[in-house]
Amino acid sequence: MPRNAESTAFRSALEVIRGVEPRVADAIGAELADQRESLKLIASENYASPATLLAMGNWLSDKYAEGTVGRRFYAGCQNVDTVEALAAEHARELFGAAHAYVQPHSGIDANLVAFWAILADRVESPALKKAQARHVNDLTEADWFALRRELGDQRMLGMSLDAGGHLTHGFRPNISGKMFDQRSYGTDPDTGLVDYDRVAEAAREFRPLVLVAGYSAYPRKINFRIMREIADSVGATFMVDMAHFAGLVAGKVFTGDFDPVPHAHIVTSTTHKSLRGPRGGLVLCGPELADQVDRGCPMVLGGPLPHVMAAKAVALAEARRPDFADYARQIVDNAQALAEGLLRRGAKLVTGGTDNHLVLIDVTGYGLTGRQAEQALLDSGIVTNRNAVPQDPNGAWYTSGIRIGTPALTTRGLGTAEMDTTAELIHVVLSQTSAGVGPDGTASKAKYVLDPALADKISRQASELLTGFPLYPAVELG
Ligand code: PLP
């Protein structure tokens, strides 16, 4: 049994946990086993490094640290200051940003911080000035009403959900669609691509305060220089949510017009997707918005998670190493190999391919809904998620798409040859699955028929594909 530092650290941690609640230790161990066995193609997931994971399990978690570096509401934050300053410094250096705020607990939180900062920056509001001059706990009900009245009715223009945008980009049921009067832009119905002329037209008509770019399920690059020109033409603040592709920006695959940082007024991100850090978020901006952004906690965020900021510092330091650029390049090479493999076998892909880390298969070409395809793939050891396609006939629940992404498998070391095999496995499952019927004999959007023997065979082939690419090879839990 290997006795290296990583194995010792994780094994000892589990031993200590087992002494209190063995079921938690078992679940943690089982999670590693599950992750090792599954062909993980969820575009938003990855595998953080052992150093990143270990940075989260320690005493920093015990500290309250409301405020920012050097300006805390609690005493004794010197060590939190150290890790927060380090994470922010690595983020600034990595992305070439003037300011970085690393407290958001997730991507959605980062977006809330950004929306708040933009409103505070752009809208003349005495109630807001009052709110900012004191602690939020000291505001009265009347202060909050005044704030709402003065900040309400501002406009946001973002990418629609079915074109690949995110809920927080103005989707009506989301808080962003309630904070703002919202409108969305879609993609060209023939090509599936963003049509910048139409975005410009929508911006001219709607005159938003905020123009948002960024996506969860758009398989192409976005030209942020053009988007900034559109924002400038209507006096909008230009915000980019790079949650999905931050790793490609960090790894210098997206440069020039496709790097959001030089073009946007404010950029938000998660840290756990292609960036391969801990679960969390961050905000980047110039000096004009920095002060407002730093007010994220306690305005819209709960207390910072110092242990997660420590892990962000570790992961961002890793992303500054030259080998991260190789990793980022490989993510895209792999996604393109996967797309080509699928196309060659007859799959229908939204936009006909990819130039980032994800591929969106339109599974109506196989006579399936996204839900049926997702479950059939899962039965076959292939983990993906269903996703709407533009103008989706099956709606946001059943959907007509399967989103697949390569950041996680690329971390394991799989390359373009393995992506072709993966395409074959996916194609075989989807082409051998048929839609089932409901109890009343009509076509079901959820039920499906797949020979269990075939599902087993594909599962075995999927795990064989992974045997040459062990996950956390240095970690042996015994
Ligand atoms: N923004 C985008 C573009 C996303 O795709 C996601 C998550 O899927 C988020 C924000 C939200 O991130 P989180 O789940 O960390 O809140």
Residue 1: pLDDT band with limits 50, 70, 90: very low
User: Could you tell me how far CA 74 lies from the centroid of its own chain?
Assistant: 31
Distance CA(404)–CA(312), nearest Å, equals 25
Average pLDDT of the chain, as a whole number: 95
Taking the CA atoms of 63, 100, 242 and 46 in sequence, report the sign of the dihedral they define: negative
The mean pLDDT of 226-249, rounded to a whole number, is: 98
* Residues 164, 43: Cα–Cα separation, whole Å: 13
Local confidence band at 3 (pLDDT 50, 70, 90 cut-offs): low
Pairing verdict, β 210-214 and 237-241: parallel
Residues of the chain with CATH 3.40.640.10: 59-319
In whole angstroms, give the CA distance from residue 198 to residue 189: 12
pLDDT at 2 over 80: no
- Distance separating alpha carbons of residues 442 and 5, to the nearest angstrom: 58
Q: Please check the confidence at residue 123 and state whether its pLDDT lies above 60.
A: yes
pTM recorded for the entire structure: 0.95
| Least confidently predicted of 163-177, 194-208, 244-258, 371-385 | 163-177
How remote is the CA of residue 44 from the centroid of ligand 1, in Å?
Answer: 8
Question: Residue holding tokens 């407290």?
Answer: 103
- Check if the beta carbon of residue 374 is closer than 8 Å to that of residue 402: yes
Strands (E), 255-368: 266-270, 281-285, 358-362
From 45, 249, 270, give the residue whose CB has the most ligand 1 atoms within 8 Å, as the site to mutate. 270
User: What's the CATH fold of domain 59-319?
Assistant: Aspartate Aminotransferase; domain 2 (3.40.640)
Over residues 54-87, the pLDDT tens digits come to 999 999 999 999 999 999 989 999 999 999 999 9
Which of the pair, 403 or 478, is modelled with greater confidence? 403
Q: How far is CA 317 from the centre of its chain?
A: 19
Mutate-to-test residue for ligand 1 from 102, 115, 216, highest number of ligand atoms within 8 A of CB: 216
CA distance linking residue 243 with residue 177, whole number of Å: 19
H-run or E-run covering 10 = helix 5-18
Q: Which ligand 1 atom is the nearest neighbour of the CA of 44?
A: 8
Rounded to the nearest angstrom, the distance between the alpha carbon of 440 and the centre of ligand 1 is 38
What is the token pair recorded at 10? 């994780």
Structure tokens at 332: 């895209």
Mean pLDDT (whole number) for 315-333? 98
The per-residue pLDDT for range 277-296, each reduced to its tens digit, is 999 999 999 999 999 999 99
Q: Is the peptide bond before 208 cis (omega within 30 degrees of 0)?
A: no
For Cα atoms 199, 205, 206, give the angle at the middle one, nearest 5 degrees: 85
| Cα-to-centroid distance, 163 and ligand 1 (Å) | 15
Instruction: Check: CB of residue 334 under 8 Å from CB of residue 419.
Output: yes
Q: Which residues are catalytic?
A: 64, 66, 241, 270, 273, 279
Token duo for residue 215? 């996506």
CATH of span 323-466: 3.90.1150.10
pLDDT at 137 over 90: no
- Mean pLDDT over residues 44-58, rounded? 97
Confidence of residue 179 (pLDDT cuts 50, 70, 90): confident
pLDDT tens per residue, range 414-463 = 999 999 999 999 999 999 999 999 888 888 999 999 999 999 999 999 99
What's the CA gap between 284 and 275, in Å, rounded? 15
Q: Are 405 and 358 in contact (CB under 8 A)?
A: yes
Rounded to 10°, the helix 22-37/452-467 angle is 90
The pLDDT of 195-219, averaged and rounded, is 98
Where are any strands of DSSP class E within 120-262? 154-159, 180-185, 210-214, 237-241
What's residue 439's pLDDT? 82
Q: Among the atoms of ligand 1, which is closest to the Cα of residue 106?
A: 15
Pocket probe for ligand 1: among 45, 46, 103, 108, the residue whose CB has the most ligand atoms within 8 Å is 108
Share of the chain above pLDDT 70, in %: 99
* Residue 135 in this model has a pLDDT that exceeds 80: no
Residue ID of nearest Cα to ligand 1 atom 13? 107
Atom of ligand 1 nearest to the CA of 272: 15
Q: List pocket residues of ligand 1, CB cut-off 6 Å.
A: 44, 106-108, 166, 168, 214-216, 241, 243-244, 270, 281
Domain with CATH 3.90.1150.10 in the chain: 323-466
